[in-house]
Amino acid sequence: MKESIFRKSSIFAALGSIFLIIIFAILLFQDNKRVHTLVLVTGQKEGQYYAFGQALSKVVHNHNHRIKIEVIESNDPQENLELLQGKKAELALVQSDTIVNNSTKAIAFLFPEVFHLMVRQDAGINDISDIEGKRIALMSKGSGSYNMFWRLQEHYQLDVEQIKTIPLPITEAHQALEDGEVDGLFRVVSLENPAVIQLLRNPQIKIIPIDQGAALRLELPALEVMSIPKGSYHGASPTPAEDLPAVGVRAVLITNKKISREVIFEITRILYEARNELVQEFIQAAMIEQWDESPHLGFTFHPGALDYYNKGNPSFIVEYAEAIGLCLSVSMLLISSVWQLRSWFTGKQKNRADLYNLQLLKIIDSIQ
């Protein structure tokens, strides 16, 4: 009776082990075919963040069909951060002056965004202090551009009561300056932005320099001292007519620290290794910053991004973590099955020996 129960238990254990091995193999196969869908929150549809998001989504999918990036619009960087931290998005674009918590990790510092103060020629504005008493169009409230204007106002000690600011959506702000409904427009935007190029084709509109970059960095260390090169917006009749001092920030691609290390590695790899394709979709991608080990104020990098930056390849354990886990599980199951089978055969051999001994004793008794 005991032998029969033990034998059945051993068989069930072996069959169970084989069944689990098959299940693990199926799960691994399904995971290798799984499409990782990530939501990227960007900015207004007319803006450069949304355009970059669309370009990144297209290029990433072209190089890895297992990664799908869904691009959604938003009103401002703070909303982007809230959606990311609220786990309603896996990726987000923010400016480099954004304050983030420890759960938020950087993937890459992208293109520079330069402070642009564009004014009408007849407005009597030749430097930033002249905007007192003028009508200035700003981007929507809460946007990075909107917030940065007030940092400039504080630094230059401009009288708030003397400036008539008019927050507007991007397209409406540009049109208001074009039509003379405002005297100036302030926007933080990348160089050679198509909408800015179009605006500056109007000979009645010019760019005002923003100097004191080094002093501004003392108050806001995330700023970078930059310049707007001569002819950036028009070469034949150079616009601007000379290199203009400027300041700016950088766009940053961020994610949550819990997002798959392998997925973030792939996005980082494609971002840099497929740069030419990305530039064809979004010209400012040519200015994406090369990673270096120097500290990036307020940001730490996702382990998946660091795998690419440090070695160009994920570590063996990271790259083959799932396969290694399967092999270990299968190995343990096989060892368990072999041990059970060995115990069963040993028990069976012992039972046979006992049976032979009993038969031998019976023969001896019959002879006596």
Clarify whether residues 226 and 132 are in a common domain.
Answer: yes
Clarify whether residues 104 and 46 are in a common domain.
Answer: yes
End residue of a domain, out of 250, 266, 301? 250
- Give the pLDDT score at 155: 94
Query: pTM for the complete prediction?
Result: 0.76
Rounded Cα distance, 47 and 111, in Å: 14
Rounded Cα distance, 230 and 243, in Å: 5
Rounded Cα distance, 224 and 287, in Å: 14
Rounded Cα distance, 168 and 51, in Å: 19
Of 300, 302, 206, the C-alpha closest to 256 is 302
Clarify whether residues 96 and 86 are in a common domain.
Answer: yes
- Give the pLDDT score at 192: 87
Clarify whether residues 199 and 103 are in a common domain.
Answer: no
Rounded Cα distance, 120 and 130, in Å: 12
Clarify whether residues 120 and 241 are in a common domain.
Answer: yes
Q: 115: number of CA atoms within 13 Å, CB side?
A: 27
Clarify whether residues 237 and 174 are in a common domain.
Answer: yes
Contact between residue 104 and residue 264 where contact means Cβ atoms under 8 Å apart: no
- Give the pLDDT score at 165: 96
Residues 6 or more apart in contact with residue 158 via CB below 8 angstroms = 128, 129, 131, 132, 152
Clarify whether residues 98 and 129 are in a common domain.
Answer: no
Clarify whether residues 154 and 302 are in a common domain.
Answer: no
- pLDDT digit string (tens) for the chain, length 368 residues: 545 555 555 555 555 556 555 555 554 444 556 789 999 999 989 889 999 999 999 999 999 999 999 999 998 888 999 999 999 999 999 999 998 999 999 999 999 999 999 999 999 999 999 999 999 999 989 888 999 999 999 999 999 999 999 999 999 999 999 999 999 999 999 998 999 999 999 999 999 999 999 999 999 998 999 999 999 998 888 899 999 999 999 999 999 999 999 999 999 999 999 999 999 999 999 999 888 776 677 899 999 999 999 985 555 555 555 555 555 555 565 566 555 655 655 655 555 655 555 565 566 666 65
- Give the pLDDT score at 2: 47
Clarify whether residues 152 and 237 are in a common domain.
Answer: yes
Rounded Cα distance, 191 and 46, in Å: 16
Clarify whether residues 193 and 119 are in a common domain.
Answer: yes
Domain that holds residue 280: 34-111+251-318
> What's 293's domain CATH number?
3.40.190.10
| CB-count burial class (<10 Å; 0-12, 13-18, 19+) for 203 | exposed
End residue of a domain, out of 227, 250, 273? 250
What one-character DSSP code corresponds to residue 236? Answer: T
Contact between residue 114 and residue 245 where contact means Cβ atoms under 8 Å apart: no
- Give the pLDDT score at 130: 95
Rounded Cα distance, 260 and 220, in Å: 33
- Give the pLDDT score at 269: 96
- Number of structural domains (the chain) is 3
